[in-house]
Structure 1
Amino acid sequence: MAVTTQNGSVVSEARLEEMAHMFEHGEWPEGSTRVVRGRPLKLGEELVSVTFKIPASELSAMDARVKSEGISRSDYLRRLVGRDLAFA
């Protein structure tokens, strides 16, 4: 399994294992490489909060829907907005 970095580079699983070994044994190279703490950007850019109100019955229905999909409310709402904007 390969991983795509924020700058678009693709790193193989073997390379990730090699890098982990280097880091764990204090062999991490000096220079421009840096470790960034925190959650990675989910969609490639900073996310901002949006707040709005809906009826409690709709929230209950949405929670049931996201549970059945195995996703969060935020992911569900982002998906809906994304679909709507794609067809606007």
Structure 2
Amino acid sequence: MPITTKNGSVVSDEQLEALAEMFESGEWPAGETRIVRGRPLKLGEELTSVTFKIPRRELTEMDARAKDEGISRSDYLRRLVACDLMTA
């Protein structure tokens, strides 16, 4: 099943397998060769941790809402903050 990349290029399963073999054998394709360790930037910019306390009952309810949405607790909180800031 072909995959469409962020820039719109279509990559076939065969191309992915060929790239995997190149990377695994230590051969790098022409172009970008910089390796960035760690998780990729999720929102296009560096994230900063924020810590606060809430009652355990609210945390349980919040986790249930996030699970219902199919997202993580952090994504749920980011969504709430973004919505509030957009309507401020």
Give the TM interval when normalised to the shorter protein. Answer: 0.7 to 0.9
Where do 5+ consecutive residues of structure 2 fail to align? none
Task: Please tell me the residue identity of whatever aligns with 1:84.
Answer: D
Taking the aligned partners of 2:31 and 2:57, their CA distance within structure 1 comes to: 55
Pairs aligned (count) = 84
Task: Please tell me the residue identity of whatever aligns with 1:44.
Answer: G
CA RMSD of the aligned region, Å? 2.4
Deviation, 1:72, is 0.9
Q: 2:11 aligns with which of 10, 13, 29?
A: 13
Q: Which of the pair has the greater relative contact order for Cα pairs under 8 Å at 6+ separation? A: 1
Deviation, 1:3, is 2.8
- After superposition, what is the alpha-carbon deviation per residue over 1:2-61, rounded to whole angstroms, capped at 9, x for unaligned? 233xxxx555324x7254343233331477521212110000111100011112211111
CA 1:72/1:31 → structure 2, altered by over 3 Å: closer, same or farther? closer
CA 1:26/1:55 → structure 2, altered by over 3 Å: closer, same or farther? closer
Q: Which residue of 2 aligns with 1:87?
A: 87
Alignment of 1:39-58 (within 5 A): 39-58=39-58
Taking the aligned partners of 1:29 and 1:75, their CA distance within structure 2 comes to: 34
Alignment of 1:1-80 (within 5 A): 1-4=3-6, 9-14=7-12, 17=16, 18-29=18-29, 33-80=33-80
Task: Please tell me the residue identity of whatever aligns with 1:76.
Answer: Y
3-state SS, counterpart of residue 52 of structure 1: coil
